[in-house]
Amino acid sequence: MKKKQDVPWEQSSEKTGLYGKKRKKDQTSCPVDGIPDYVFESLARCALPIIQAYYETEEGRKAYEEWKAKR
């Protein structure tokens, strides 16, 4: 299903992303502006289980504790 193209004068400064969280669209002049939200959401869905699995390991827990101590 195709998404309706945004018309510049109808664009809002915020977009709703994964899990209903809002992200600022005009925060930077980064070239990711043209990338559709579904690409970011797809990447997050792929990366999250891998990240969770890492932090469930002893090495991941240790790295997290070191990171917390530095903050």
Q: How many helices (H) and strands (E) does the chain have?
A: 2, 2
pLDDT band at 50 (very low <50, low <70, confident <90, very high): very high
Query: Can you give the pLDDT at residue 10?
Result: 44
Query: Can you give the pLDDT at residue 26?
Result: 53
- Distance between CA 17 and CA 25 in Å, rounded? 11
